[in-house]
Amino acid sequence: MTRFLCCLLLAGSCAGAAEPLTYYQDWFPGAQFAGLYVALDRGLFRDAGLDLSVHPFAFGQDAPAMIDREPARAAVGTVEGYILLEKRAKGADLVALNAVLGESPAGYMALPGTKARGAQDFIGKRVGVHKYGDPLYRLFLRRAGMDPAAVSMVFVDDDVGRLVRGEVDFMQGYAIEELVKLRRVEPRAQFLPFRTLGFDAYSQVVFSTRSQLGAHEPVIRAFVRALRQGWAYALAHPDVAAGAVLARMPPGTDPSLVRQMVEAEAPYVSPGGASPLGAMDKAKWSAMSGALVEMGLLSRAEEPGAFLAP
């Protein structure tokens, strides 16, 4: 048996056979990468026969193009599920491997005393929406049969102080980030998930390109297995996970805040206690694709079999 086949069959256990692979992060360091950091710190990628390089996020970078720029080197990235569909519609032949977050942690936050059961509760309110989040906002209003004029939309960033100060009544945010910060100020703060409003989406989807998968499938699959192990360990050892995240955060970051964010992420990484990075559902992807058509972001829905890795 050749040394190459030996290392493939033994998941990289042959000494000196590390395969280079680049991972493109889709955001700045934070709790959403806890499993990745734990896998790095515990040597899980090295044990899988991988020499992993992490490419930091930068605004404006085109990860799919960068992934195919070095065909001799394996490469993967993570991206929001809806962005993957949009990039495919623009011609990028992306393949979805697994999703780190089985449900998007995005939603709308509200203070106690504000009804937050559905889009109908937006009537007469000021709703803070992230930049580029307005197509989804309009989708929720349309599906609820609401007149957009009955609601005041305000573009916001991630400053939860705008909600605390009463500048808006609802504010778009993430359950693993802004909501954690808000509940340190107001523990009874409410959260209305996008899923409840009718948009159930995968988040932080591990992807590569079809040409990459064809050339480097064993290496890419080994990355996914090691990442899954990293997340399983992170969920079982939240203090270790928080420490791994904190080591990558700017000096002065509050350790207790990072620990709370790691805890908040657990139900999204492991819905219902399921194994991290489990199989994805074609019906869910179809619904996502259909919603993007309804929002005018895609011209037609796409069959999941065209982009889900077998």
Q: 237 lies in a domain?
A: yes
Give the pLDDT score at 16: 61
Tell me how far apart the alpha carbons of residues 7 and 142 are, in angstroms, rounded to a whole number.
54
- For residues 302 and 207, membership in a common domain is answered with yes
* Tokens read off for 310: 């077998």
What percentage of residues in the chain have a pLDDT greater than 70?
95
Q: 46 lies in a domain?
A: yes
Tell me how far apart the alpha carbons of residues 220 and 226 are, in angstroms, rounded to a whole number.
10
By the 8 A CB rule, do 291 and 139 touch? yes
Q: 258 lies in a domain?
A: yes
Domain that holds residue 291: 18-104+202-306
- For residues 58 and 179, membership in a common domain is answered with no
* DSSP codes, 25-69: -SSSSSGGGHHHHHHHHTTHHHHTTEEEEEEPP-TT--HHHHHHH
- For residues 91 and 211, membership in a common domain is answered with yes
**Residues in Cβ contact with 36 at an 8 Å cutoff, skipping those fewer than 6 apart:** 23, 54, 227, 230
Last residue of a domain, one of 165, 197, 229: 197
Tell me how far apart the alpha carbons of residues 83 and 22 are, in angstroms, rounded to a whole number.
20
- For residues 157 and 298, membership in a common domain is answered with no
7: pLDDT confidence band, cut at 50, 70 and 90? very low
Q: 271 lies in a domain?
A: yes
Residue 124 has pLDDT above 70, yes or no: yes
Q: 122 lies in a domain?
A: yes
- For residues 100 and 207, membership in a common domain is answered with yes
- Residues 91-104 have pLDDT tens digits of 999 999 999 999 99
Mean pLDDT check: name the lowest of 16-20, 181-185, 232-236, 303-307. Answer: 16-20
In order of 50, 220, 254, 298, the CA distances from 15 in angstroms are 11, 19, 40, 47
70: pLDDT confidence band, cut at 50, 70 and 90? confident
In order of 96, 148, 183, 193, 307, the CA distances from 198 in angstroms are 22, 17, 25, 9, 23
Q: 126 lies in a domain?
A: yes
Give the pLDDT score at 11: 44
DSSP 308: B
* Tokens read off for 306: 């065209």
Tell me how far apart the alpha carbons of residues 76 and 206 are, in angstroms, rounded to a whole number.
7
Tell me how far apart the alpha carbons of residues 81 and 104 are, in angstroms, rounded to a whole number.
9
- For residues 147 and 78, membership in a common domain is answered with no
CA-based nearest residue to 301, from 131, 92, 6, 86: 86
Which CATH number covers residue 111? 3.40.190.10
- For residues 240 and 279, membership in a common domain is answered with yes
Give the pLDDT score at 17: 80
Last residue of a domain, one of 163, 197, 231: 197
Give the pLDDT score at 159: 97
Mean pLDDT check: name the lowest of 15-19, 52-56, 122-126, 189-193. Answer: 15-19
Predicted TM-score (pTM) of the model is 0.92
Provide mean pLDDT across the span 25-39: 97
- For the chain, what is the domain count? 2
- For residues 90 and 45, membership in a common domain is answered with yes
- For residues 116 and 257, membership in a common domain is answered with no
**Residues in Cβ contact with 91 at an 8 Å cutoff, skipping those fewer than 6 apart:** none
Q: 92 lies in a domain?
A: yes
By the 8 A CB rule, do 122 and 170 touch? yes
* DSSP codes, 237-286: -HHHHHHHHHTTSPTT--HHHHHHHHHHHHHHHSGGGPPTT-PPPHHHHH
CA angle 76–77–82, rounded 5-degree value: 130
Give me the half-sphere count of Cα atoms (radius 13 Å) on the Cβ side of residue 48: 24
Last residue of a domain, one of 197, 232, 257: 197
- For residues 227 and 171, membership in a common domain is answered with no
2: pLDDT confidence band, cut at 50, 70 and 90? very low
Q: 188 lies in a domain?
A: yes
- For residues 181 and 211, membership in a common domain is answered with no
Top pLDDT among 64 and 29 is at 29
- Residues 10-22 have pLDDT tens digits of 444 444 689 999 9
Residue 278 has pLDDT above 90, yes or no: yes
- Residues 280-306 have pLDDT tens digits of 999 999 999 999 999 999 999 999 999
Residue 227 has pLDDT above 70, yes or no: yes
- For residues 184 and 239, membership in a common domain is answered with no
Residue 239 has pLDDT above 80, yes or no: yes
